[in-house]
Amino acid sequence: MTSEIQHIPFWKHRMILTLFIFCCTAALGFTGQTLIKAGLNQVQVANHSGFDWMLHAYTNLRVIAGGLLVGIGFLLWIAVLSRLDLSQAMPMLAITYVPWLIIARVALKENVTLAQWVGVVLISVGVYLVLRK
């Protein structure tokens, strides 16, 4: 019994790599923005105001780490934009609202309403319709 190696066309490899880069971009964005928000929550609790608040916010380690991750995600986003049409890339970005709500609820203990969930479902359906060919 012999097994044949299936040949995957080049364009499928390219799309898989693009989707992988997009997922990395999204993961860096989720993590970075969550760190930034957590750091800002710490600063807010300290009741700083004006320049003092900015100094504490911009020197908070979570804010700095989050900013670095968001920056790296931006560099990867450039790679995604170089591989896809803007009409494909931007709707893909909108699909990230689903994990954003989960992160806001679980990691940051924010109240997420039913209306927000319904809105995200509608956005997700819209993204599917836009990306469908």
Across the 133 residues of the chain, what is the mean pLDDT of every consecutive 10-residue run? 57 81 93 93 75 88 97 96 89 84 89 94 87 73
pTM of the model: 0.76
The structural domain count of the chain equals: 2
- Distance between CA atoms of residues 59 and 39, nearest Å: 10
pLDDT for res 74: 96
Domain hosting residue 32, numbered range: 10-84
| Whether 34 and 74 share a structural domain | yes
Cβ burial, residue 122 (10 Å; 0-12/13-18/19+): exposed
Q: Indicate whether 93 and 77 sit together in one domain.
A: no
Residues 79 and 89 in one domain: no
Are 75 and 50 found together in one domain?
Answer: yes
What is the reported pLDDT for 46? Answer: 63
Q: What is residue 9's predicted lDDT score, i.e. its pLDDT?
A: 65
**CB atoms near residue 28 (< 10 Å):** 21
Q: Is 111 left (phi over 0), alpha (psi -120 to 50) or beta?
A: beta
| pLDDT at position 10 | 59
- CB-based contact 32:70 (threshold 8 Å): yes
